Structure 1
Amino acid sequence: MLFQRLIKENAAIWDSYLHHCFVKRLEDGSLEKEKFLFYLKQDYMYLINYAKCYARLALNADNAKELRFAMKFQQYIIEGEIELHKSILQLGIDVDNLCAKDESITNIAYTRYMLSVGESGDFLDMLVALSACAIGYAYIGKEVFKNSQHSLENHPYREWILTYAGEEFQKETQEFEEFLNTYNVSDEKFNKLSHIFHNVVRLEAEFWQHALEMRV
């Protein structure tokens, strides 16, 4: 299966993303609130651009099936994750007044890289670029929930954990992974996809790190 091949080929960087210090501290509740809010603020802006990436994915579609997939997941990002982040951030950040000056360099690098993949490549290239976030968060959410479920009642990041470990998100992610796995590729194409995947996973890990350092 294509996605498992990508993980296997990039095992070390994939593991550093899933088990980053930021994730482990979020899991045990020791992550400082200001760092979590910094992450949420950046992630809110990231998700707006991530939703735009699905518009690029739609432009790259070769058939109705691919077009429906792109449009469905764009809608899910807009109506689901962005609204969740907005509700949390309203506790301390006015999301409606966020602007380009608030966006971190890491954030810019990640989302613009994905867009560049879509502009220079095809539908599958863009799908793989989007996969680290789309599928990775489900892997992380599931594991964090498993490791912290006995202490969730008073967990400071309970809502975040339950969102990404929740049935709806897990179901959507499984659909994404299964869709990606329907593609069979040549060795040459796989090497290109693996390079893209390696880059986006690196950027995911860097997103955790820059939040840990609160580095704009």
Structure 2
Amino acid sequence: MKYQDLIEACQSDWQEYTEHTFVQQLALGTLPQESFLHYLKQDFLFLKQYARAYALAIYKARTLEDMRQALPSVQALVDTEIAHHVTYCAEWGLSESDLENEPEDFGTVAYTRYVLDAGMAGDLVDLYAALAPCSIGYAVIGKALLNSAETKLEGNPYRSWIELYGGEEFQTGVAQGAEHFDRLLKEIDINSQRGQILVEVFKTATRMEVAFWQQGINAGEI
């Protein structure tokens, strides 16, 4: 099977994730600032755990090639993406100290620990099935928003977010990771017991992404 088969197996959850109200309001620039700031702080905490999960992929890898595949993701997260996130948050008045001292929301804890647990309890493929909804989903969302005629870029305070995830660098990196994931999935039948376990892992992580958006929306309603 391929990763696209996992998406199709949980299509309603995937659609709820990629077309969430949070995403739609980002595209229009109407998302309340409180919602976005809450999301930024929680996403910093998420990215730290996400980097740990990719480090776990190196530990779980059985071949040098699989180790090589995971290493750039760890380096990119620690050296580039988190650093970019800190710089970006500074534009919104949030210092690195603010981000480090922010309490983890329940949704953040549930999601990140689920990913780590899936990797610890299973093998490399289980771990990537839990990681994939985030990276692939953000690429799908970024590309869709950047290409949509309904997206408002001019004067949109969230324009840089849309351009980051819809941009060539992020899209290329995710495409390479997705190709590697497909190679790992190649010999697995989606209808087998193993395949159905991976579907459940992917689906649960996708539902966690929905909850992550929703906690941002809820923060703007307080």
Find the counterpart in structure 2 of residue 28 from structure 1: 28
What is the letter of the counterpart of residue 8 of structure 2? Answer: K
Structure with more helix by fraction: 1
The 2-side partners of 1:38 and 1:181 are apart by: 34
The 2-side partners of 1:101 and 1:29 are apart by: 25
Structure 1's consecutive aligned runs of 4 or more residues displaced over 4 angstroms after TM superposition are none
Q: How much is the aligned-residue C-alpha RMSD, in angstroms?
A: 1.8
The 1-side partners of 2:37 and 2:151 are apart by: 24
Q: With structure 2 as the length reference, what TM-score do the two structures score?
A: 0.92
1:81, CA displacement in angstroms? Answer: 2.0
Q: Secondary structure at the match of 1:153?
A: coil
The 8 Å contact of residues 119 and 126 in structure 2, kept in 1 or not, is answered as yes
The 1-side partners of 2:134 and 2:20 are apart by: 14
Find the counterpart in structure 2 of residue 61 from structure 1: 61
Partner deviation per Cα, 1:161-207 (whole Å, 9 max, x = no partner)? 11000000000011111111113214221101001001000000000
Find the counterpart in structure 2 of residue 84 from structure 1: 84
1:14 aligns with 2:19: no
The 8 Å contact of residues 152 and 158 in structure 1, kept in 2 or not, is answered as yes
Alignment gaps of 5+ in structure 2: none
The 2-side partners of 1:148 and 1:26 are apart by: 14
What is the letter of the counterpart of residue 196 of structure 2? Answer: N
The 2-side partners of 1:159 and 1:8 are apart by: 30
What is the letter of the counterpart of residue 56 of structure 1? Answer: L
Alignment gaps of 5+ in structure 1: none
Identity across matched positions, percent: 35
Q: Secondary structure at the match of 2:153?
A: helix
| Correspondence list, 1:116-155, <5 A | 116-147=117-148, 151-155=152-156
What is the letter of the counterpart of residue 215 of structure 2? Answer: H
Q: With structure 1 as the length reference, what TM-score do the two structures score?
A: 0.94
The 8 Å contact of residues 13 and 203 in structure 2, kept in 1 or not, is answered as yes
Q: Secondary structure at the match of 2:157?
A: coil
Partner deviation per Cα, 1:48-100 (whole Å, 9 max, x = no partner)? 11001111111110101110111111111222321221112113112224346
